[in-house]
Structure 1
């Protein structure tokens, strides 16, 4: 009994930390950005930042940016997510539901937000890739952040968790950076995409508790 009580006491701070740092704080930041975007206000630092970044463009960086923008796009993440969904569906449907809502839900959320805010993309130089939809938030950043956050939750407290954290954060970071380098997003588009993807997945996790009843697996509480 005392062991159970001590376990619960250790769980509560982690759950509160996840709530405030992983959900509420990101949503507050996104809300702050979204308010200015909705009012068609500009962030003064964004255009100079993008132009300064573009001054360092090179053929090798072009290829690297195109690689990560492809890896972080729907054409790669969607089929990979579908394969993982099928695997989880055969293993345990509650896990498949969590995965599906996390990744597919982030894509739907991105579409809804784009339609609401209708922020034009930057037009600062001839771009290597052409995008026809709106820019806020960055879908690539949101997809990759949601994908990585869900993978981290699956691997938490396993021998591979820090490997997944490091590689996942690096991957999502490079995807977002590639969108800035290619000039198809403003920095606040990318930041809002990352934070929205993170908050969405952690919110879904908090509601579904997909790993509940599996303490031996060492999943986050």
Structure 2
């Protein structure tokens, strides 16, 4: 006989419970709410004014930075980089490498499924600097970068590099998301859903696979 849900949750450590509630369940609920509106072809009133404001205050330099971030945060860079990191992790810990591969590759596959499901058209507010095809929701760049960064932060958390990975990773993910809106290829809710979905997926995989074996010797933690 399966134990009741309340009993199961009571045995979770505070960190695991917080990860479940705030890192997985809440983001998925928010993505579901936005996704339902997307399926019903509803628009959020703040999105177009915000995008037009960002575009009006953009500069050629900012546009070029956005193009670079869009390249670095895309699958053409993250995929081979992830393969290299997975190999390096494998040499230290199979458990960690397996987690990283499932977190990043799974996020990419999930993004493709979500795009086919929601099939949201991309914004057409001004001529784009980068040609983009396919559906808009959720942002693939935002989802890839969020899953990639979240996986690295989780692996680095038991070490002395936790705060460095958190700060740099969060900044990178935020900038990649900004670049997609600045370039006019995604609505802000596309980016938000990508961030939440990517992070929740990586956290969910972490909770299931439990890659607890440290990558560094015990004395370095």
Same fold (TM over 0.5): yes
Question: 1:199 and 2:200 equivalent?
Answer: yes
Match of 2:132 in 1: 131
Structure 1 vs Structure 2 CA RMSD: 2.0
Assess if the C-alpha contact under 8 Å between 2:96 and 2:155 holds in 1. no
How far residue 92 of structure 1 moved from its aligned partner, in angstroms, is 2.3
Matches within 5 A, 1:1-221: 12-211=13-212
Q: Distance in 2 between matches of 1:29 and 1:134?
A: 20
Q: Distance in 2 between matches of 1:158 and 1:92?
A: 15
| CA shift in 2, pair 1:213/1:156, >3 Å | closer
Match of 2:5 in 1: none
* Equivalent pairs, count: 210
Q: Distance in 2 between matches of 1:217 and 1:24?
A: 32
How far residue 91 of structure 1 moved from its aligned partner, in angstroms, is 2.5
Assess if the C-alpha contact under 8 Å between 2:119 and 2:136 holds in 1. yes
Once the two structures are superposed, residues 114-171 of structure 1 have per-residue CA deviations (whole angstroms, 9 ceiling, x without a partner) of 0000000000000101111100000000000001000101110311110110000000
TM-score, length-scaled by structure 2: 0.90
Q: Secondary structure of 1:169's partner?
A: helix
How far residue 10 of structure 1 moved from its aligned partner, in angstroms, is 11
Q: Distance in 2 between matches of 1:112 and 1:53?
A: 30
Q: Structure 1: 5+ residue runs without aligned partners?
A: 1-8
Assess if the C-alpha contact under 8 Å between 2:71 and 2:77 holds in 1. yes
How far residue 47 of structure 1 moved from its aligned partner, in angstroms, is 0.8
How far residue 90 of structure 1 moved from its aligned partner, in angstroms, is 2.7
| CA shift in 2, pair 1:213/1:56, >3 Å | closer
Assess if the C-alpha contact under 8 Å between 2:146 and 2:195 holds in 1. yes
Q: Distance in 2 between matches of 1:160 and 1:12?
A: 23
Q: Distance in 1 between matches of 2:11 and 2:33?
A: 33
Assess if the C-alpha contact under 8 Å between 2:82 and 2:104 holds in 1. yes
Q: Distance in 2 between matches of 1:44 and 1:114?
A: 22
How far residue 213 of structure 1 moved from its aligned partner, in angstroms, is 8.8
| CA shift in 2, pair 1:112/1:10, >3 Å | closer
